[in-house]
């Protein structure tokens, strides 16, 4: 027997009446909060408050509590004096490489593999990475990140992206390596290229942030302002120059729920383990390489060669060449190295910005290469233009303000 379309729907209705129980839906607190956090009028203040709390906890825990309150005392009062007392011949090359300056009274200024190398990676960066990934996982697992994506969609559309680009942006504040990989969630090739390029130039990783808190705590807000301004400015330019589509956001917004403790712990462990395996060796190797280049006179020769560019155009000391070389291995290491170079406050600010927008670290470089060598070459071309233009612009502003 063949049923007509109307007959089929009648059968469906009879089955539904017998099997489906209808009730009155009651809105929960989670439903109300979910609506409030996606509407611009209420969502923007909530987003500002959430990001401010994120940053405050990050600074208080990573900077003040763990690094300044415990790690600095451990390394400077115990580890450094002991290492200086047991290592033979302070005038030898191996003392300079592994312990550093024999007159240094803190690990930051010693710049040896076993002093600055361990202090930067374990004493400064590790606490920053731990607290960042904890807060990132809580925001992710609670369901707030998709709402933040919906909220910022209209803003990010102006630079050729859509709201879900906020995910690689926030991931980039932890580490640029997973952030570049996360650009694959964007639909078009244009969006992926813009996001990958802006990540490599303007998004500082958690390791950098941790060292910035130690080196320039009073100027870190100004550095962020410059990076955000550059992100928006050059993102807008790239969106106008690069052809391609910019589709609307399509994202599933789950209900709010409490993060599951086991998931949070597992994600934190996997991400921290990755940092310990990949980043720490690069920091130690970076200190070793830079010290050997100093001993061989390579850094001094490069500083003399690039002096006209650095001093005249960027307004920073020629000694900044050394940190820039270290920056290819680890940018956090490069910023730490700036602390031992004599310079004015504005020069320090300009140098930190310059290193932040400079060539991506080698791990990010490799991941970008995996995304395609053509995209990598194009991104590097954009990077060189941005560094030259933006670095010179910061110097010019400093001259106009009379502080450069």
CA distance 150 to 161: 12
What is the gyration radius of the CA atoms in the chain, in angstroms? 25
In contact, 202 and 168? CB cutoff 8 Å: no
Mean pLDDT of the chain: 86
Summarised one tens digit per residue, pLDDT across range 234-252 is 999 999 999 887 777 766 7
Confirm whether 21 is domain-assigned. Answer: no
In the DSSP assignment, the letter for residue 159 is: G
Confirm whether 334 is domain-assigned. Answer: yes
CA distance 140 to 226: 27
| pLDDT for residue 24 is more than 80 | no
Place of tokens 């930190």: 352
Place of tokens 């191996």: 94
| pLDDT for residue 195 is more than 70 | yes
- Burial class, 162, CB count within 10 angstroms (exposed 0-12 / middle 13-18 / buried 19+): buried
| pLDDT for residue 146 is more than 80 | yes
Confirm whether 322 is domain-assigned. Answer: yes
What is the extent of the structural domain holding 328? 32-245+267-401
Half-sphere exposure of 170 (CA within 13 A, CB side): 24
Confirm whether 144 is domain-assigned. Answer: yes
| pLDDT for residue 29 is more than 90 | no
What is the pLDDT at residue 13?
Answer: 85
pLDDT-based confidence at 7, cuts 50/70/90?
A: confident
Place of tokens 């990949």: 278
| pLDDT for residue 38 is more than 70 | yes
What is the pLDDT at residue 1?
Answer: 60
DSSP string, 365-387: HHHHHHT-HHHHHHHHHHHHHHH
| pLDDT for residue 303 is more than 70 | yes
Confirm whether 297 is domain-assigned. Answer: yes
- Total domains in the fold of the chain: 1
Confirm whether 25 is domain-assigned. Answer: no
Report pTM.
0.78
Summarised one tens digit per residue, pLDDT across range 323-375 is 888 787 778 888 888 888 889 999 999 999 999 998 887 778 877 887 788 88
Summarised one tens digit per residue, pLDDT across range 69-123 is 889 899 999 999 999 999 989 999 999 999 998 988 888 788 899 998 898 888 8
Tokens for 339, please give them.
Answer: 């602390």
What is the pLDDT at residue 30?
Answer: 74
DSSP string, 259-328: PPHHHHHHHHHHHHHHHHHHHHHHHHHHHHHHHHHHHTTHHHHHHHHHHIIIIIII-S-GGGHHHHHHHT
Tokens for 268, please give them.
Answer: 């934190």
Confirm whether 26 is domain-assigned. Answer: no
Torsion from C-alpha of 384, 386, 387, 392, nearest 10 degrees: 130
Confirm whether 20 is domain-assigned. Answer: no
């Amino acid at each position: 027997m063949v049923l007509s379309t109307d007959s089929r729907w009648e059968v469906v209705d009879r089955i539904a009446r017998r099997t489906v129980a209808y009730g009155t839906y009651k809105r929960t607190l989670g439903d109300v909060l979910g609506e409030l956090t996606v509407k611009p009028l209420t969502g923007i203040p909530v987003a500002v408050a959430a990001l401010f709390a994120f940053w405050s906890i990050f600074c208080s825990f990573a900077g003040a509590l763990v690094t300044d309150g415990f790690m600095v005392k451990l390394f400077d009062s115990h580890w450094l004096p002991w290492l200086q007392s047991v290592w033979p011949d302070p005038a030898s090359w191996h003392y300079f490489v592994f312990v550093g300056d024999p007159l240094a009274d803190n690990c930051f200024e010693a710049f040896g593999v076993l002093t600055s190398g361990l202090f930067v990676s374990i004493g400064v960066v590790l606490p920053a990475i731990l607290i960042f990934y904890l807060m990132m996982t809580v925001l992710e697992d609670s369901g707030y990140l998709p709402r933040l994506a919906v909220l910022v969609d209209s803003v990010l559309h102006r630079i050729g992206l859509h709201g879900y680009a906020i995910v690689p942006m926030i991931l980039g504040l932890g580490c640029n390596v997973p952030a570049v990989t996360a650009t694959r969630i964007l639909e078009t090739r244009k969006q992926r290229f813009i996001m990958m390029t802006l990540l490599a130039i303007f998004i500082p990783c958690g390791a950098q942030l941790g060292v910035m808190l130690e080196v320039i705590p009073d100027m870190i807000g100004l550095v962020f302002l410059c990076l955000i301004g550059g992100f928006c400015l050059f993102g807008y330019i790239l969106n106008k120059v690069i052809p391609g589509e910019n589709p609307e956001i399509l994202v599933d917004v789950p209900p709010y729920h409490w993060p599951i403790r086991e998931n949070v712990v597992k994600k934190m462990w996997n991400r921290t383990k990755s940092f310990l395996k990949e980043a720490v060796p690069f920091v130690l190797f970076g200190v070793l390489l830079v010290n050997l280049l100093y001993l061989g006179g390579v850094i001094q020769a490069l500083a003399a060669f690039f002096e006209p560019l650095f001093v005249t155009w960027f307004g920073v000391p020629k000694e900044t060449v050394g940190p820039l070389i270290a920056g290819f291995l680890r940018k956090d290491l490069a910023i730490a190295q700036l602390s031992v170079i004599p310079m004015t406050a504005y020069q320090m600010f300009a140098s930190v910005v310059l290193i932040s927008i400079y060539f991506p670290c080698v791990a990010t470089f490799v991941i970008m290469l995996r995304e395609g060598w053509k995209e990598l070459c194009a991104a590097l071309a954009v990077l060189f233009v941005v560094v030259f233009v933006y670095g010179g612009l910061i110097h010019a502003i400093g001259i106009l303000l009379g502080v450069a």
